[in-house]
Amino acid sequence: MEALVPQTVQFTNWIYSDKVTNRPGRSFPVSQTLKDRKRFPVLVSARFPANGASNRRRNVDMEVSCSYKSVPGSVVESGNNQAPFDESLLLKVKSEKIKPYLEGRCIYLVGMMGSGKTTVGKILSQALGYSFSDCDTLIEQEADGISVAEIFKLHGEGFFRDKETEVLRQLSLMRCVVVSTGGGAVVRNINWKYMQKGITVWLDVPLDALAQRISAVGTGSRPLLPNESGDIYSKTFMRLSSLFELRGESYANANARVSLENIAAKLGERDVSNLTPTVIAIEALEQIEVFLKEKEGHNEL
Ligand SMILES: Nc1ncnc2c1ncn2[C@@H]1O[C@H](COP(=O)(O)OP(=O)(O)O)[C@@H](O)[C@H]1O
Ligand SMILES: O=C(O)C1=C[C@@H](OP(=O)(O)O)[C@@H](O)[C@H](O)C1
């Protein structure tokens, strides 16, 4: 049905700073700070006049604008419009775009300990209007509230893995949940059978960043990591390295991979620890979109 009233459509896109030239009238001024980044998101507003317009060929006014709150004083202007852009807006636009194609499937975040599955998972669940579940928390609830570390100590890892599989089986019967899995969930094939009823996303974080994050909060809640005194960073790094050696190929079975190194390269960031959880959540939605397009044929995306 054709539009009888003017319509404005807003969407975001990424603009690569090397494509932006300051030729008057053909583009918009970009501050040097933004140009230093490899690419940055812009908000595009397209205004479609009502169909009743006299000329059949409808002229569409396009406005492009964005500004980085994290880059003081730097705005990208289109004409005299300055639109406040922030990560949460891009997250909202991206999540609304792909949500219909999820068809209520759960999203399972997999990755090493400390990769951000809980942190990013909560952000994704809010953006998608999904609920959020943490596998470890559900296992602790099933074990009368004792912690993961106590479960390992009292019952052993095998008991924990059986509980983990049972929790994943229950979650596979649910819809519209973002699930933060435990770092070892990828080890059992039966767990993949359950998780592949949804969409699996691997948060691929460099081991150094993982060791830094976990050292900052301590390893006490993670029984597979060293908990003695001394150089906790190095001991954690070494242990994570040996665990990743055993599991790295399993994580790669995920439907989508979110590489913090790739995000950093695209944004011109030298250090992945500068990437906010929201930026990572946006990349997760982008990689899910790639999966929906390339593996499920939704080329209209
Ligand atoms: N993008 C990020 N940048 C910096 N620290 C982060 C980021 N994401 C998570 N963290 C921190 O890393 C630690 C582990 O995060 P968490 O979400 O619990 O990981 P997981 O659930 O994969 O074990 C937490 O202290 C969290 O605050
Ligand atoms: O990597 C693992 O084998 C584990 C990761 C932990 O979850 P997080 O990834 O949330 O730390 C938890 O399930 C348990 O300590 C085992």
ipTM, interface predicted TM-score of the complex: 0.99
Comparing 56-65, 219-228, 239-248, 290-299, which segment has the lowest mean pLDDT?
A: 56-65
Q: How many beta carbons lie within 10 A of that of residue 23, not counting itself?
A: 7
Q: Which atom of ligand 1 is nearest to the CA of 217?
A: 25
Strand-pair category, 131-134 with 75-76: unpaired
At 2 the pLDDT is 44
- d(Cα 202, Cα 204) in Å, to the nearest integer? 6
Mutate to test the pocket of ligand 2, among 222, 240, 247 (most ligand atoms within 8 A of CB): 222
Residues 112-128 as b/e (b if ≥16 CB within 10 A, e otherwise) read bbbbbbbbbbbbbbbbb
- CB-based contact 41:12 (threshold 8 Å): yes
Kindly list the protein residues whose Cβ atom lies closer than 6 A to any atom of ligand 1: 111, 113-119, 180, 213, 217, 273, 275-277, 280
3-state secondary structure of 144: coil
Six-digit token pair at 4? Answer: 């009888």
- CB-based contact 49:59 (threshold 8 Å): yes
pLDDT tens figures, 95-134: 999 999 999 999 999 999 999 999 999 999 999 999 999 9
Q: Is 43 exposed, middle or buried (0-12, 13-18, 19+ CB in 10 A)?
A: buried
Task: Tell me how far the alpha carbon of residue 45 lies from the centroid of ligand 1, in angstroms.
Answer: 34
Q: Which atom of ligand 2 is nearest to the CA of 223?
A: 15
Q: Whose CA is nearest to atom 15 of ligand 2?
A: 222
At 230 the pLDDT is 81
- CB-based contact 94:13 (threshold 8 Å): no
Six-digit token pair at 298? Answer: 């939704």
Q: Cα-atom radius of gyration of the chain, to the nearest Å?
A: 23
Q: Which atom of ligand 2 is nearest to the CA of 139?
A: 13
Six-digit token pair at 151? Answer: 């479960």
Mutate to test the pocket of ligand 2, among 110, 115, 122, 136 (most ligand atoms within 8 A of CB): 136
pLDDT tens figures, 233-287: 999 999 999 999 999 999 999 999 999 999 999 999 999 999 999 999 999 999 9
Mutate to test the pocket of ligand 1, among 213, 271, 272 (most ligand atoms within 8 A of CB): 213
| Domains annotated on the chain, with CATH | 87-204+252-291 (3.40.50.300)
Q: Rounded to two decimals, what is the model's pTM? A: 0.78
Residue type, 280: I
3-state secondary structure of 95: helix
